[in-house]
Amino acid sequence: MWQVVGHQWAIALLQNSLTRGNISHAYVFTGSPRIGKTTLALKLARALNCTGEDKPCGECLSCRKISQGIHPDVRMVDLAYQKGLLEEREGSTALGIDAIRSIQSDAALMPFEGRWKVFIIPQAENMTPGAANCLLKTLEEPPPHVVLLLTALHTDLLFPTIVSRCQIFNLRPPSTDLIGQALERRWGLEGERAHLIAALSAGRMGWAVEAAQNEALLKERNERLDELLSLPGARRLERLSFAQRWGSQPERAKEILTLWLGWWRDLLLAKEGCWDKTENIDRRDILAEEAEKHELGEIKEFISSIRKALQQLESNLNLRLALEVLMLDLPSKR
Ligand SMILES: [Zn+2]
């Protein structure tokens, strides 16, 4: 039982290669943040080493050890957990060559208990060029018992030489309905709340599950949204102080900008009368009011300003400056 929400085509393909014993030595799962790339990689790691009948069974010792993160043959080379191996690069953290070397020396050993040694590298686009070159050596001549699972936003962000040696799965966000049903069935949420969280998640299953379990997440979203709604009426100085506040926190800034993008996209949809596609379904009254206050062209322009700021954030450009520009682009209320 894979128990993954969405991505059924990918699971069917993976299941098929498992059944036929036709395993690749490297896979890349790509797609937007939090749609379930790492979850799928972990399920594949389980399926590879599962000793149960219906792989991944989720019940056997191997499956349980992998879910607990204590299986000796399955290693998550995660930025957050590998602090000792991080290299500082332009103010952000990157996966350095030492992390990849440590994978290589580990990969040379035979598995301790499982059939496969599995290394999961989430956000592989954060590798330094040195690390990527080092990884390439393993991909060129992988030890027979090793499987590498990478995740990335997009294959374009990885070295083409790496991509060409991996099997690629481009994951699409699961539908709102699918997420809502899963929240009700598997996480026990009541219908209305499941529906709201599913709509707000915009296909980010990881976010949906977190919001289902942590009330603070929705509260935070409401606060940020209120702030967003007050900004078009705010003076220049207040807008710039906003840029200053979030300008040194790239991760938070990314979340806020993603929230804004969703809101302004909703304004566009409201303006066009496409209500069924909107995310912020609990604020439809305000959406309708706000949509009245802005011209269509204004909304479209600001959406592209937000996209631009997000891109600058991804490429590690001066975040505060990007937010200041965005604040000045923000249309005033009529
Ligand atoms: Zn199992």
Share of the chain above pLDDT 70, in %: 95
How many angstroms is it from 116 CA to the middle of ligand 1? 13
pTM exceeds 0.75: yes
76, 160: one domain? yes
How many angstroms is it from 35 CA to the middle of ligand 1? 24
Structural domain total, the chain: 2
| pLDDT 10s digits, 202-234 | 899 999 999 999 999 999 999 999 988 888 888
Burial zone of 52 (CB within 10 Å; 0-12 exposed, 13-18 middle, 19+ buried): middle
Helices vs. strands in the chain: H and E counts, helices first: 15, 7
Q: What is the C-alpha to C-alpha distance for residues 4 and 58, in angstroms, rounded to an integer?
A: 12
51, 155: one domain? yes
How many angstroms is it from 333 CA to the middle of ligand 1? 57
Q: What is the DSSP string of 186-209?
A: HH---HHHHHHHHHHHTT-HHHHH
User: Where residue 66 sits, what CATH number does that domain have?
Assistant: 3.40.50.300
Domain boundary among 170, 193, 227: 170
| pLDDT 10s digits, 154-165 | 999 999 999 999
223, 109: one domain? no
How many angstroms is it from 144 CA to the middle of ligand 1? 22
How many angstroms is it from 12 CA to the middle of ligand 1? 18
246, 143: one domain? no
Domain boundary among 145, 170, 195: 170
68, 159: one domain? yes
Q: Give the H or E element holding residue 106.
A: helix 97-107
Task: Inform me whether the pLDDT recorded for 298 exceeds 50.
Answer: yes
Q: What is the DSSP string of 220-239?
A: HHHHHHHHHHHGGGS-HHHH
Q: What is the C-alpha to C-alpha distance for residues 49 and 211, in angstroms, rounded to an integer?
A: 31
User: Where residue 269 sits, what CATH number does that domain have?
Assistant: 1.20.272
Give, in order, the Cα–Cα distances in Å from 82 to each of 18, 86, 103, 106: 30, 7, 12, 15
263, 166: one domain? no
Q: What is the C-alpha to C-alpha distance for residues 174 and 40, in angstroms, rounded to an integer?
A: 13
How many angstroms is it from 66 CA to the middle of ligand 1? 9
113, 227: one domain? no
How many angstroms is it from 18 CA to the middle of ligand 1? 14
How many angstroms is it from 56 CA to the middle of ligand 1? 5
Task: Inform me whether the pLDDT recorded for 40 exceeds 90.
Answer: yes
How many angstroms is it from 201 CA to the middle of ligand 1? 30
Q: What is the C-alpha to C-alpha distance for residues 196 and 143, in angstroms, rounded to an integer?
A: 47
Domain membership flag for residue 190: no
How many angstroms is it from 62 CA to the middle of ligand 1? 6
Structural domain of 129: 8-170
How many angstroms is it from 170 CA to the middle of ligand 1? 26
How many angstroms is it from 60 CA to the middle of ligand 1? 4
Domain membership flag for residue 194: no
Q: Give the SS3 label for residue 120.
A: strand
**Quick one: how far is CA 140 from the chain centroid?**
28
16, 155: one domain? yes
161, 21: one domain? yes
Domain membership flag for residue 251: yes
| pLDDT 10s digits, 73-102 | 999 987 554 444 444 444 446 788 888 999
How many angstroms is it from 54 CA to the middle of ligand 1? 8
Domain membership flag for residue 95: yes
What residues flank ion ligand 1 with Cβ within 5 A? 50, 52, 57, 60, 63
